Structure 1
């Protein structure tokens, strides 16, 4: 009697450890991972919707860049996302306050993303979105593959922290000493590589180190990694096209 070849079911594949020496239940960790990516997906969709509205309604961006009231609103948005992180840290395990604060953080940041895209050509935005998507998916698959084979990627943390500190200080210096177009592109390429490293590092933490109560912080980390990569690529393509 003919029998169908044996194939691993989803349940069986999820019962396999994500990495060697894994002590916790793989099913629980997979559920946690799905929860994180669901939250990040919603954040990104909300960001796209808000940013698209800002780009489509031109008077919004014009008001921000051409009036003192708009400048004040811009400063408020920047400060809001920084202030919200404090109560978000304190209430990150309290539902639904944590999701409300996460929503405020996402919308305020999405508005700033829209302003960054408002004066950029659609071709440059599309190129940045496509490349960001390809890079994020590729690095995510690589990190899961590396974790399954026992590679430890946690050593990247101190190097990435030092690198992003240098980037922040360098960007502050640019306010007083603006760079030329080629230098801006080089800066953007270096920043893109650093945020690619952060995607690998935070995904590795998602697989191995985040506790089940830290789903908010895990979501914020991955969300910021994706947005920072997009913004740096946007600057690179913008400089190349100008």
Structure 2
């Protein structure tokens, strides 16, 4: 026979026992970026489903971006066109920044289907055009070597991050400081440009985002101190995508500087 203690107790109730807001075991309210990070993903089934969605979305983004890079690299007509229309590049940059802010700051949009995929698709399209435009100014051999190196490096980093016991998710504060230093170094390189500085800057950038990729991979796998909540698969795909694209651009900078 059920007793009075078997009845679920509400958070707030009146004297008649009617709930005013929600029960203690009701699901959390994800508003904006609240509860974006979880300490663990204990449910193995949920975690595997979350990881699968992240890497499926990431794979589609990378296939589109690197496919567009190949078109911009091998087609002489496309290379000539993008060289004559810099306004499209700057427009793509503005679109990219807008949707990057939306996906990072607006948690409700980022977790609401289909708006999350629409925003992510537009961000991917704009960044792909920017990356393709940058690649069109380099030699075809440099672009292909950078592309192959990016695939190999990123695969090795993701594999290492998934197997190691080192917790890179504790390094975000340190990585933020290094990012600031890298930005200042890049600003310095504008006024004192030479090939050696370009190679050094590209090497430091590739190294920094390689560590970012390791930390973000562990954030998604959920086997360490911090992890993303299962609802944040779009954000998970976004951060991995940006890490890989940055690694590609910095490797391209190294190869381009070494061939000049």
- Separation in 2 of the partners of 1:205 and 1:23? 10
- Separation in 1 of the partners of 2:41 and 2:56? 25
- Separation in 1 of the partners of 2:127 and 2:41? 37
Q: Does 1:167 align with 2:182?
A: yes
- Deviations for 1:115-139, whole angstroms, at most 9, x for unmatched residues? 1111212211121112111111111
Hey, what does 1:138 align to over in structure 2?
A: 156
The number of residues matched between the two structures is 215
Q: Which has the higher helix share?
A: 1
- Separation in 2 of the partners of 1:78 and 1:189? 24
- Deviations for 1:179-199, whole angstroms, at most 9, x for unmatched residues? 210111111111111011001
1:23 Cα deviation from its structure 2 partner: 6.3
In the TM superposition, 1:116-195 aligns within 5 A as 116-146=134-164, 149=165, 151-175=166-190, 177-195=191-209
- Separation in 1 of the partners of 2:40 and 2:137? 48
TM-score by length of 2: 0.77
Confirm or deny: 8 A CA contact 1:128 1:233 kept in the other structure: yes
TM-score by length of 1: 0.82
Task: Give structure 2 stretches of 5+ with no counterpart.
Answer: 1-38
RMSD: 1.8
Q: Does 1:97 align with 2:108?
A: no
Hey, what does 1:65 align to over in structure 2?
A: 83
The 1:127–1:54 alpha-carbon spacing in structure 2 relative to 1, beyond 3 Å, is: closer
- Separation in 2 of the partners of 1:118 and 1:47? 13
1:22 Cα deviation from its structure 2 partner: 6.1
**Which residue, 95, 100, 105 being the options, matches 1:85?**
100
Task: Give structure 1 stretches of 5+ with no counterpart.
Answer: 1-20
- Separation in 1 of the partners of 2:169 and 2:63? 29
Regions of 4+ moved over 4 Å: none
1:145 Cα deviation from its structure 2 partner: 0.8
